[in-house]
Chains A and B, each alone.
Chain A
């Protein structure tokens, strides 16, 4: 069965600092990988996705993630965060033929001035 692990439930960081949100997955079949963001009192929005090809994926709002097959990881990074990046971030995996998403437990990014 597929699973997604986000080890950090909360990540506090100061504005303009770099940040990495960790995500590890387990699956016995080919998967697609996603990062979603949920701003306070809003719905889920796709940040970026990995389907195939280049292992470095760039998304919206300056975020990027790198797929590492050997370490089964898909960590999310941003070189310089803003106050507006404060939100809950979810890593997710789906099998290649259904797209139903299995989510991690989420990481709350809190950016301080």
Chain B
């Protein structure tokens, strides 16, 4: 079956421009996560959506970063006024509903490589 898909696969943008990154989770997965993988910081959690609950935004590095999830499915990560330090691979993952005493595997997409020039 279809896995997690992300688009675009590569994005080159100029410093100061806004970018939108898209994630299509696996159908039926209620939990969706964004992570960032960069040379200097490794793999970092950014934001987490679970059903209709308020998202956990505790990992967003600045107020230039925001994300939304429409209809409990597709998610868009937006970075405003991009900076060179935003250059990284942005990974999306989805899973079934996590809960106490139960954990479900997170399935990762291939990522979007963002380069800010």
Interface residues, chain A, CB within 8 Å of chain B? Answer: 32, 42-46, 49, 51-52, 90, 92, 94, 96-106
- Of A90, A92, A98, the residue contacting B48 (CB under 8 A) is A98
A44 to B95, CA, bound (A): 14
Flag whether B1 is at the interface (Cβ < 8 A).
Answer: no
The interface size of chain B toward A, counting residues with CB under 8 Å, comes to 27
- The answer to whether B105 and A49 have CB atoms under 8 Å apart is yes
- The dominant DSSP class at the B interface is strand
Q: With both chains docked as a complex, state the minimum distance between the C-beta of A106 and any C-beta of chain B, in angstroms.
A: 6
9 cross-chain pairs, A with B, having the tightest CB-CB distances, nearest first: A99-B98, A103-B43, A44-B108, A105-B42, A43-B108, A32-B103, A43-B110, A100-B48, A97-B100
- The answer to whether B98 and A101 have CB atoms under 8 Å apart is no
